[in-house]
Structure 1
Amino acid sequence: MKQKKITAIDVARLAGVSQASVSRAFSKNSSISLKKKKLILEAAEQLGYQPNAIARGLITNQSGIIGIVMRNIQNPFYPEVLDKFYAKLAEKGYKVMFINSHNNEISDDEVSHLIEYSVEGAIITDTLLTSSTVQKFTRNGIKVVLFNRYDNDSISNAVVCDNVTAGKRIGDYLLEKGHKNPAFISGPMNTSTTVDRLKGFEEALAVHGINFFLTENGFYSYDGGFTAAKRLLERDHTIDAIFCANDVSAFGAMDYLKTQNIRIPEDISVVGFDNVAMSDWVSYHLTTWHQPVDKMVKDAIHLLLEQINGNENAPIIHKVEGHLAERGSVMDRR
């Protein structure tokens, strides 16, 4: 015989409170007294009651769900980011709806999925927003924050690493170490991360009189980095340093160099960007730019919740400083 499902009414009856009080007790923004909340939670525990978050969201118009849209989950940077978002949002009483986007631009189906479940906000990482997508989010009251990239024409807040400064610092670092012929492995050129990292690198090299250097697109992927390194060395075998726009493409580049018996860093130095956990593996020991992910995640959540709570200001691009993590992949040639 099927057991009767315990409802909020049963909890209210046992605790001697109203059903509305039970709903408030399980709300992330509870306005109920601690004494009453304790009484309700004890009654719920005794009965084995589990609230229905979707049903409660329909009643309160607060789903307690934040959507996170992420495309390149093969890049170890983004699973690390997702884990941090999940933990920090859980601390604040929110659930996460993860959308693994398969396109460069978030699709209509993915947007519809977020709308269908009445997410209160969305954090968009490595996929692009169209103006029509932004309009759909706005019409449905869904607040949006972009993470690790921005769009100058967007009305959405964004949190990014200060990529221009990072690119400059990496360029200065390689030249200070005595490198004369650096090259760059980029990501897709339609992303702010690539544009800004390249811009900073170009500016640093120009100050030192280097106005031309080779570049290849590594598409922020391992295979892309591997192929890009091959193309660079086919074009110029005197390259003495490669700045890769992210760590995973740096791993690909390093592995290509190893297949050619090119020593790192004795023959060619390699610098990455992100400082993912694999960067410290003994097989890579990669010097890389550390993105301050903890602060970036914290700031992105703060901006999103401020919007959700009605404290909206003009959209900002919030830039966070990082730092160079020096390991063993760069040679001092001075």
Structure 2
Amino acid sequence: MDKPEIPDDKAKRRPITARQLARMLGVSQSAVSRAFTPGASIAPDLRDRIKQFAEEVDYHPNAIASMLSKSRTNIVGIVVSDMQNPFYPALIEKLSRSLQRVGLQSLLFNITKGSNLEEQLSALRRYNVDAVIIISATILSGQTLRWATEGRAALLINRVVEDADLSCVICDNVAGSRAIADHFYETGRRRVAYVSGLSHTTTNRERQNAFVTRVAELGMVLCARVDAGEYSYEAGRRAAMEIVERGGADAIFFANDILAAGGLDALREEAGLSVPDDIAVAGFDDIALASWPHYALTTFRQPVDEIIAVAVGMIEDGSCYPGRPITIKRLPGELIVRSSSYRISDSSK
């Protein structure tokens, strides 16, 4: 049999498809597919011939196309829409490793602001993933999430969406925010402020309501409540300066750590205040930056490892599959006290 003609360099600039490879070899497309499928029925000499020529023309099987044709893919779609928040890349990295340990791979869908949501989520529906994990997809409504995850296992991490009919795994935001208020009170703070990132999200509402309620219970004064508009460093700087301009606050609770980092720098560099002598600062999450000496940020640590373990377990045991009861699992975190709110050395005096 004549040797198939190998495409020239110009043709090789675009990846060769299985159909093109089959045409070059004079075999069926299914034969090409079977050659690259372990255990598939195909004559050994034909398999070798196909693989040898595929190597010569730099052909690689399309894993996504293969995935679309199978009933089970062992792939989990991860949906996120707030990648500028350092908490989420770190969480996704740990989540993907945990999924790999149980034989599952990850496919990331980053839903960006201002994008065509229907177009992006249509892609999620087309990919034959076994399950979907939504991580703080703040720009997606409950109705949109139901449509995007229809017919497959799905759950939320770090967010509750009341009308989405999806199970979720989340940190106990209420306990964490109350712990921040208690800490401020115990260290002598009496006039406090709260900074939200996105005021409409359930995560923020839980943190804000719990903090404000506990402040009132303790007889403290809430002298400012600022909506920063987003969870970002620059938003934290702007919010801190707004609170300084209003005056009177001796402590600020920022809804997450990246807001608090911006706030800390603004208080020191722009307002010229001493932290914690003039004003105390606390955040939420305990991202890596929080422990850096420049920030030494008091924060409430989310139980990330436990959240991931529970989420992966729910996918493995099928408890988040369609038709199963909806569950909300709130996991306890831990208050981490650092020098942004309290001089640790003072405790020994």
Query: What's the TM-score once normalised by structure 1's chain length?
Result: 0.81
1:81 to 79, 91, 116: 91
Deviation at 1:86, TM superposition (A): 1.2
2:235 to 202, 213, 224: 224
Aligned partner of 1:33 in structure 2 is none
8 Å Cα contact 2:76/2:107 also seen in 1? yes
8 Å Cα contact 1:217/1:224 also seen in 2? no
Aligned partner of 2:257 in structure 1 is 247
The SS at the match of 1:144 is strand
- Where does 1:176-215 land on structure 2 (aligned, <5 Å)? 176-210=186-220, 212-215=222-225
Aligned-residue identity in percent:
31
| Higher Cα Rg, which structure | 2
Query: What's the TM-score once normalised by structure 2's chain length?
Result: 0.78
8 Å Cα contact 2:193/2:222 also seen in 1? no
Q: Distance in 2 between matches of 1:211 and 1:182?
A: 6
Aligned partner of 1:256 in structure 2 is 266
Kindly tell me: are residues 92 and 312 of structure 1, through their superposed partners in 2, closer, same or farther at Cα, counting changes over 3 Å?
A: farther
Q: Which runs of 5+ in 2 are unaligned?
A: 8-20, 23-30, 43-50
The answer as to 2:286 corresponding to 1:286 is no
Deviation at 1:329, TM superposition (A): 0.7
Aligned partner of 1:314 in structure 2 is 325
Aligned partner of 2:183 in structure 1 is 173
Aligned partner of 2:334 in structure 1 is 323
251-260 vs 113-122, which moves further: 113-122
Deviation at 1:305, TM superposition (A): 3.5
Aligned partner of 2:27 in structure 1 is none
Kindly tell me: are residues 106 and 328 of structure 1, through their superposed partners in 2, closer, same or farther at Cα, counting changes over 3 Å?
A: farther
Q: Distance in 1 between matches of 2:169 and 2:89?
A: 17
8 Å Cα contact 1:202/1:211 also seen in 2? no
Letter in 2 for 1:291: Q
1:99-144 Cα deviation digits (max 9, x unpaired): 11113899111211112221221111122443442442354x2222
Letter in 1 for 2:298: T
Q: C-alpha root-mean-square deviation of aligned residues, in Å?
A: 3.0
Report the count of equivalent residues.
Answer: 304
142-151 vs 119-128, which moves further: 119-128
Q: Which runs of 5+ in 1 are unaligned?
A: 21-43
1:21-40 Cα deviation digits (max 9, x unpaired): xxxxxxxxxxxxxxxxxxxx
Letter in 1 for 2:303: P
Kindly tell me: are residues 131 and 188 of structure 1, through their superposed partners in 2, closer, same or farther at Cα, counting changes over 3 Å?
A: closer
Deviation at 1:217, TM superposition (A): 1.4
Deviation at 1:62, TM superposition (A): 1.1
The SS at the match of 2:112 is coil
